[in-house]
Structure 1
């Protein structure tokens, strides 16, 4: 039975104004309201509406069209807005940890408005706050109400100037002194300075700082996290022994102050060690609830995955905004036609459909994956908070780490490529800053680097898979994982013997066909990666050299294919489940099939190379199936965007507004720009040049 809103549907989901987009909305094969309700649920919809409504009514959040803010003013405004968001109390302390989907919804809402604001809030409340809550003990919970009351402001200090992705090589140290029951936090040199830390540049008073923990006698117990005060909350001046500053202007997100810090023998109380996975007794003995280092590291990986899962979600939000703008534009922008007197919307052209609709499908598929992975991460955190310390929790931490390490690259790269395609698909109008696509491109770009360079992160996922295969071959261990993402590998010898059996284009229109191909693809790439690694080692190369030589054509595509398979599988299960209303099965099935085929098509060469495809028929059928699905989804595109797009105030793009009045909105916005009709302030220079031009002409 389809979910309903009861009597307040019109208030919560009002109809869109009639206009140029009405024709497409009328041709949709489904109700956008029903789909939105199915995907989000009543509580989340009301929650998001309350956030959007509060922002739109508050003068502090008024759009500053045409006003070029200095970086200092932008950062001040971002801080004031973050403070106001805290005052609105959209998310209570309890909800932050008990309602993960509301947490995701809040970040999406703030990010769709402005990513500098969203990142500032995310780093303060969720990254700093959740790390303290999930990695610490009850004695650390005192920080939580303080951060919600803005008594303190937090940041997350992991990376250093000379080390980012290689966290094991972090050089900041924390030596324990049993005489005073303190840790001595120290940066050995400037290369060990904490660097790129969001909120640290100007506003953070406290930081979760990662350092190598040493106990008396010089034994190192690896990377651990500490709560460290870096500024006085009353003056914002640095604490003794702390050198802290701002790293400067970035390519985007300049409302967020990224900074650096160095520590010169800063003493931190023993209680400030976040000790859920390992602590130190007053006498200086290291203690941990985990029986071996591997289990402790696995549990820690779950906590470190929070930032990557958040960036995955942020990238999806950017993709949603870009496709919303580009598809509404494409449905109203008319160019050329069958006759000189008739122009048709550019969305009617197969080329425009092929360029944009796969990214629309990707937005839906990746959105579902990001939410489901966030729920998985919350399950891990709840179990650790509940005191569970077993092999399953450690394995769950490793699995989530593998999924997040490939999920962030896939989502951020898909958004990066999708935003650029949307910019080009909107022609010259897409290049106007007021239409926001350029801003989205700049704000999304760091997602490909923050919390680990994408290509480096993919090695974490391929290493996880290769480790499972090694255990299978050497010890006979089964392919099993808590989330069951690798369980299909149990049948890998049989899967490798399969071949594509489709006989027509119609056979490819079900995502189940792509799922089968993806399983073969992952098995093949895993086998070839293992063979290549073994070959390199047999040739006398070290483990480091061997792994380095396997990345480009083996391990990198293995990690991406595995994550794509996971996304396709989860979205297929979601769109084909019994809870899907009959009226939505058609459009959701087409989205699932298009995303699966489009993603799989990037691996066509390997599918032929490994023998899964043969002849020209398989590749040709896949291409035609994608075009057929694009054609089938064309009339649904505007309604599908209506499900994804935020209110016009938040979307903030004249060419992407819900009324579809493309030219009217664009013309009005141009005329409202600052000094648009004024002559140039340097006009006398133009006049002064005339004699020079005349003199040159006379000489010619």
Structure 2
């Protein structure tokens, strides 16, 4: 066989593999745009994920579609009780499938993120319930406990117990330090006694607790027999009997009822009344109690111990970042496919054109498509950064780099969760409106996506409160720089550019045309200036508040709006753009995929940057009319360029029709046929109402029922 023949044979075999992993999409109305695309969607999918990940995802999706337990139900047909029962049974089935063994996880940790993504795309309630039990509960035990607690992790894996994570109380959420549940050590009985002093101290919003959790990781203030409080510590607490699901003596547990979204998860409350638990149920990595009642800890500083005890929350924020991206991908996929098949108006009375052809629709949607790509790349990279940190924790790495890596990931995750959840929330609403009345139909799922994403803006820390953690991290570097202590350099390099702080502040917007701005480095350089400027202004604002006699608390409080909050958001947007810019500019990107990826990167950068135009002008980076106009025109030009690629870009990230579950966005593009079929399948859709007799009664209305004083 000659080299050319061998090459052709290899290419043919590769195409066959692709066709098995990624079958051709059905012909139909969407074919028009697919044929216009500048790239092959299958090639981009393989480049982004690789064949192994694509196969893994296909295995999960196929299993869900073929399992009767996961059959779709018409919106509104399930009662709250039935929905929660189904979600629990599905969660249990996912654990039985064991899609990802421990060995596979160690070899390819990114598969864990893929598994979460698949479950979230099917039903966010399923993912949340699964995560809380198999990840959040067990990770809290693994990271805060010791060898003696491994039995609980094994019991979860064997489905003997079901777990939850209990931190928030009715009167305290973000302010974890002031939680009021107590755990007092009884040295004689070698037990802790848990108490809720009043209903304000009731643990609440705990996912899985309402109906199903048998065990919880509970955070409480630890008291030793001498009456000393040693701060917040975590305990494994049995809530219910696994054989009966009846609550344990001394435990009052209940369900919080209907929520705005994620109703398959039973969020609950719990109060403790002299509940005794074994001494060994204290998760003792940050602190322990000797049999005599003496408190022991390797942390001399209570603040460090408190931070370490809540370290597990970073993993939650990393996962929520990915969940937000997942919701954004679902919403934008539905809206783009709808827009490519929905025809309205046209240049003549005889011709209607797809609404995707309108500049307004492109401007509303395509930037969110670019954001989905940029944020997904960032989410994957942040997840791998967290895995690096987690491995260091497992091997008890005490190095300065490991400590600094933890600070950096904490700062990044405290800003990436707000950015991803807010982008998904705004994007889902824009997609809903862009689909008109059909977007308002529950069957098309945009309302569900929006509502299920909503809590991402709140749990694991309110977004606006979390951003303060990131701005504090950045301000700490300025303080150290002023004191000439260390160069600005972090393990992941996210703050390294701040070493050029003074030089960057001297930069100005120099692009003179749309052609110049299509290079994503233009937005990247502008973001460097923006972060440096906001960092300088935030620092100056804080110092001014202090000089005016404000306390540290007051000074920080008065430096948030327009300063620290904007700084944290600009920094995380810069970081997302910087990572995606490097990725799309890399030489490993196939030449035929480079243009579309670079266009996505440039669009995301300019679109995100355009929200800061007031500050860019305020600080003098931009002057005159030209910069603002160039940025606006470039955004519109990039939307127009990407318009013909939009459907193919969606084909890369969208799940199969069964998982997407939106009649207006099926792969065949038969918008009206699919919508009509689904409408007719609704429960009692063609029947008269059960209360028809009330309408048809012949009794005359006599008198008035208006109440009299």
Q: Answer whether TM exceeds 0.5 for this pair.
A: yes
The structure-2 alpha-carbon separation of the partners of 1:282 and 1:578, relative to structure 1 and needing over 3 Å to count, comes to farther
Question: Tell me, what secondary structure is at the counterpart of 2:592?
Answer: helix
- 2:161, 2:291 → 1: CA distance? 27
Question: Tell me, what secondary structure is at the counterpart of 1:583?
Answer: coil
Instruction: Confirm or deny: 8 A CA contact 2:60 2:118 kept in the other structure.
Output: yes
Instruction: Confirm or deny: 8 A CA contact 1:319 1:415 kept in the other structure.
Output: yes
1:331-373 Cα deviation digits (max 9, x unpaired): 0111111111111111111111000000001111111111111
Task: Determine the structure 2 residue equivalent to 1:697.
Answer: none
Which deviates more from structure 2 when the two are superposed, residues 112-121 or residues 293-302?
Answer: 293-302
- 2:450, 2:615 → 1: CA distance? 31
The structure-2 alpha-carbon separation of the partners of 1:238 and 1:429, relative to structure 1 and needing over 3 Å to count, comes to same
Does residue 534 (structure 1) correspond to residue 543 (structure 2)? The answer is yes
- TM-score, normalising length: structure 2: 0.94
Task: Determine the structure 1 residue equivalent to 2:637.
Answer: 628
Task: Determine the structure 1 residue equivalent to 2:322.
Answer: 313
Alpha-carbon distance, 1:171 to partner: 1.7
Instruction: Confirm or deny: 8 A CA contact 1:93 1:144 kept in the other structure.
Output: no
Alpha-carbon distance, 1:288 to partner: 4.0
Task: Determine the structure 2 residue equivalent to 1:394.
Answer: 403
Alpha-carbon distance, 1:692 to partner: 5.8
- 1:357, 1:682 → 2: CA distance? 46
Does residue 565 (structure 1) correspond to residue 585 (structure 2)? The answer is no
Does residue 481 (structure 1) correspond to residue 490 (structure 2)? The answer is yes
Task: Determine the structure 1 residue equivalent to 2:427.
Answer: 418
Task: Determine the structure 2 residue equivalent to 1:441.
Answer: 450
**Quick one: which of 392, 395, 399 aligns to 1:383?**
392
Task: Determine the structure 1 residue equivalent to 2:285.
Answer: 276
Does residue 685 (structure 1) correspond to residue 694 (structure 2)? The answer is yes
Question: Which ranges of structure 2 fall in alignment gaps of 5 or more residues?
Answer: 1-6, 703-709
Task: Determine the structure 1 residue equivalent to 2:605.
Answer: 596
The structure-2 alpha-carbon separation of the partners of 1:424 and 1:689, relative to structure 1 and needing over 3 Å to count, comes to farther
Does residue 670 (structure 1) correspond to residue 679 (structure 2)? The answer is yes
Instruction: Confirm or deny: 8 A CA contact 1:434 1:653 kept in the other structure.
Output: yes
Does residue 49 (structure 1) correspond to residue 32 (structure 2)? The answer is no
The structure-2 alpha-carbon separation of the partners of 1:332 and 1:689, relative to structure 1 and needing over 3 Å to count, comes to farther
The structure-2 alpha-carbon separation of the partners of 1:352 and 1:275, relative to structure 1 and needing over 3 Å to count, comes to same
| 1:324-339 equivalent positions in 2, closer than 5 A | 324-339=333-348
- 1:301, 1:98 → 2: CA distance? 28
Task: Determine the structure 1 residue equivalent to 2:257.
Answer: 248
Which deviates more from structure 2 when the two are superposed, residues 46-55 or residues 168-177?
Answer: 168-177
| 1:291-370 equivalent positions in 2, closer than 5 A | 292-293=301-302, 296=305, 299-300=308-309, 302-370=311-379
| 1:164-179 equivalent positions in 2, closer than 5 A | 164-179=173-188
**Quick one: which of 454, 469, 476 aligns to 1:460?**
469
Instruction: Confirm or deny: 8 A CA contact 1:184 1:265 kept in the other structure.
Output: yes
Instruction: Confirm or deny: 8 A CA contact 2:361 2:434 kept in the other structure.
Output: yes
Alpha-carbon distance, 1:201 to partner: 0.4
Alpha-carbon distance, 1:476 to partner: 3.1
Task: Determine the structure 2 residue equivalent to 1:231.
Answer: 240
- 1:138, 1:121 → 2: CA distance? 24
Question: Tell me, what secondary structure is at the counterpart of 1:244?
Answer: strand
Alpha-carbon distance, 1:680 to partner: 2.4
Alpha-carbon distance, 1:67 to partner: 5.2
Task: Determine the structure 2 residue equivalent to 1:524.
Answer: 533
**Quick one: which of 487, 500, 507 aligns to 1:498?**
507
Alpha-carbon distance, 1:432 to partner: 0.8
The structure-2 alpha-carbon separation of the partners of 1:297 and 1:562, relative to structure 1 and needing over 3 Å to count, comes to farther
Question: Tell me, what secondary structure is at the counterpart of 2:142?
Answer: helix
**Quick one: which of 98, 117, 132 aligns to 1:108?**
117
Instruction: Confirm or deny: 8 A CA contact 1:66 1:674 kept in the other structure.
Output: no
1:293-351 Cα deviation digits (max 9, x unpaired): 56555555542211111111111111100000000000011111111111111111111
**Quick one: which of 452, 457, 460 aligns to 1:451?**
460
1:606-627 Cα deviation digits (max 9, x unpaired): 0000000000111110001111
The structure-2 alpha-carbon separation of the partners of 1:97 and 1:522, relative to structure 1 and needing over 3 Å to count, comes to same
Does residue 550 (structure 1) correspond to residue 559 (structure 2)? The answer is yes
Task: Determine the structure 1 residue equivalent to 2:591.
Answer: 582
- 1:273, 1:132 → 2: CA distance? 10
**Quick one: which of 23, 40, 45 aligns to 1:31?**
40
- 2:356, 2:456 → 1: CA distance? 29
Instruction: Confirm or deny: 8 A CA contact 1:498 1:612 kept in the other structure.
Output: yes
Task: Determine the structure 1 residue equivalent to 2:660.
Answer: 651
- TM-score, normalising length: structure 1: 0.95
Instruction: Confirm or deny: 8 A CA contact 2:337 2:669 kept in the other structure.
Output: yes
The number of equivalent residue pairs is 694
Instruction: Confirm or deny: 8 A CA contact 1:496 1:523 kept in the other structure.
Output: yes
- 1:341, 1:591 → 2: CA distance? 35
Instruction: Confirm or deny: 8 A CA contact 2:233 2:309 kept in the other structure.
Output: no
- 1:683, 1:584 → 2: CA distance? 60
- 1:509, 1:681 → 2: CA distance? 60
- 1:315, 1:512 → 2: CA distance? 26
Alpha-carbon distance, 1:681 to partner: 2.4
Which deviates more from structure 2 when the two are superposed, residues 134-143 or residues 92-101?
Answer: 92-101
Instruction: Confirm or deny: 8 A CA contact 1:281 1:287 kept in the other structure.
Output: yes
Question: Tell me, what secondary structure is at the counterpart of 2:588?
Answer: coil
Alpha-carbon distance, 1:291 to partner: 6.4
- 1:588, 1:328 → 2: CA distance? 20
- 2:309, 2:509 → 1: CA distance? 41
Question: Tell me, what secondary structure is at the counterpart of 1:276?
Answer: coil
Instruction: Confirm or deny: 8 A CA contact 1:301 1:401 kept in the other structure.
Output: no
| 1:58-207 equivalent positions in 2, closer than 5 A | 58-65=67-74, 68-96=77-105, 99-207=108-216
Which deviates more from structure 2 when the two are superposed, residues 227-236 or residues 267-276?
Answer: 267-276
1:69-103 Cα deviation digits (max 9, x unpaired): 11111111111111111111112344456643111
1:476-512 Cα deviation digits (max 9, x unpaired): 3322222221111111111111111112111111111
